[in-house]
Amino acid sequence: MKAIPYHDVFLSHRFADRDAVQQLHDHIERDLGRSVYVDWIEHPELDRSKVSPETAEHFREVMRACSCLIFYAGPNAAESKWMPWELGFYDGRQGARRIAVYVDDLAAFDPGQQEYLNLYKRWWIDRHSLPGFLDQALDDTAAMNSATYDQWQRHARKIARDPVDYAISLVQWCYGASANALIDPERMQARGDEQPEGPLRAPAALYAPWYEMLRQQQAWYANMRQQWRSVRRMLPAPALAADDAARHSANFADPRAWLGMLAVPAWPIGNNGAEAMATAATEAAPAAPGPLALPPFPVPGDWLGQFEKMAAQMMPRPEARIT
């Protein structure tokens, strides 16, 4: 299947309305100068009649790479099985303010059984109001970042709630992403958040040792997170709420440092209890291959700022791609 380029508009529709969809597609591209994705135009080899994990993942990737979605509420739209799914995915991923419901006759439009379209009534549009929606959805420079605002909030909450777990998971992700980069992109198989699979880039004999090492490191840190969580569940509430400056100087390779980093007071659990937990975690921790390198730990007080800097350095993205 061809690579998925960036498009301004994902045009959600029912194939039975293809004549009107073709006209709308041509109008947006020719008259308004915007790029539009229509599956049977861009990827005619795709079998949309069959619901499969591969087809669903294809449409997820397409919608991630589109700046807005136009739901064409044509005469046959109510019978579509794909359109409500596309609408829900895009709403959850990108946000309702970048979704429009297009109808041929806005004055006479009645959603009928598609009552969920009332959620998007702000942008019920027709040919006359279409340019206004596109201007708002595509020309607002903040829109490129607003799609991930909820994701940044979620990450910030995770950092504040458990910075140790988050730091370990960040290193784990780095190793996993590096391993994924060694897989042949033309033959990679990836579904949602599952681990990508496929043959390695050529020459595979050169990349294989690196790939195995990266996967081992990824697994090592995944195991480490499990051990940390086991220790954390046994910590008293005062320790979990502590925000001591010593947090940033921890050695994650030694589970004993986890307790010291959180400034666990001796009186709630006793020195013997702390030593017993540390010993149990050390014995359960993976023995090999061990950590190779760790990024500097953010200084308390500026978790989000430090995270944004690290993310910007490690996760450069094309300006047109929205994830």
Q: Tens-digit pLDDT profile for the chain (323 aa)? A: 556 778 889 999 999 999 999 999 999 999 999 999 999 998 888 777 777 888 888 888 889 888 899 999 999 999 898 999 999 999 988 778 889 999 999 988 888 888 899 999 989 999 999 999 998 887 654 544 555 556 677 777 788 878 888 888 888 888 888 888 899 988 887 665 677 888 998 888 888 999 999 999 999 888 888 888 888 777 665 444 444 434 434 444 444 454 444 433 333 333 444 444 445 444 444 444 444 444 444 444 444 455 455 555 544 444 433 33
Topology annotation, domain 7-146: Rossmann fold (3.40.50)
DSSP 3-state helix, strand, coil percentages of the chain (rounded to 5)?
A: 60, 10, 35
Helix and strand counts by DSSP (H, E) for the chain: 13, 5
Q: How many angstroms separate the CA atoms of 156 and 177, rounded?
A: 21
pTM of the model: 0.55
Phi, psi of 102 (to 5 degrees): -100, 130
Which has the closest alpha carbon to 81: 57, 49, 112? 49
Contacts of 88 (CB under 8 A, 6+ apart): none
What residues does CATH 3.40.50.450 cover in the chain?
Answer: 7-146
Which has the closest alpha carbon to 27: 144, 141, 126? 126
> Could you tell me the CA-to-CA distances from 107 to 34, 104, 111, 113, 119 in Å, in that order?
26, 9, 12, 18, 18
Q: How many angstroms separate the CA atoms of 74 and 301, rounded?
A: 53
Paired with 273 in beta bridges are none
Q: Do residues 307 and 159 touch, judged by C-beta distance below 8 A? A: yes
